[in-house]
Amino acid sequence: SLYDFLSAHGLHPASAHQIMTAELATPEEARWLNLSYPASARCMKRTTFLSSGKPIGYVQSVYSGRDFYFTLSLKSAAEFSGEIRQTAA
């Protein structure tokens, strides 16, 4: 994974800021997602940071509103391992 590659090179992601929104897909996004325009989409933007605060990664994704599945598991700060990963459903 990208995070394994970064860690192997001494770059350890420490935090991330992610924003998720519901929007209308652009005509091009609707075509990519095989949707009839206009169509709903779920948009995600995430910036990942090193412990120094330096940004190390940026991801912007668009998902079909009809196929989007989101899960979230929460831990207390004492239990959080600091590992950041994205998984596909």
CA distance 37 to 47: 29
Closest among 31, 30, 42 to 68, alpha carbons compared: 42
Whether the predicted pLDDT of 81 surpasses 70:
no
CA distance 70 to 60: 16
- Per-residue pLDDT at 74: 74
Residue 15: strand, helix, or coil? strand
CA-based torsion, 76, 80, 84, 87: positive or negative? negative
- Model pTM? 0.66
Taking only the tens place, the pLDDT of each residue in 2-61 is 878 888 998 888 889 999 999 999 999 999 999 999 999 999 999 999 889 999 989 999
Whether the predicted pLDDT of 86 surpasses 70:
no
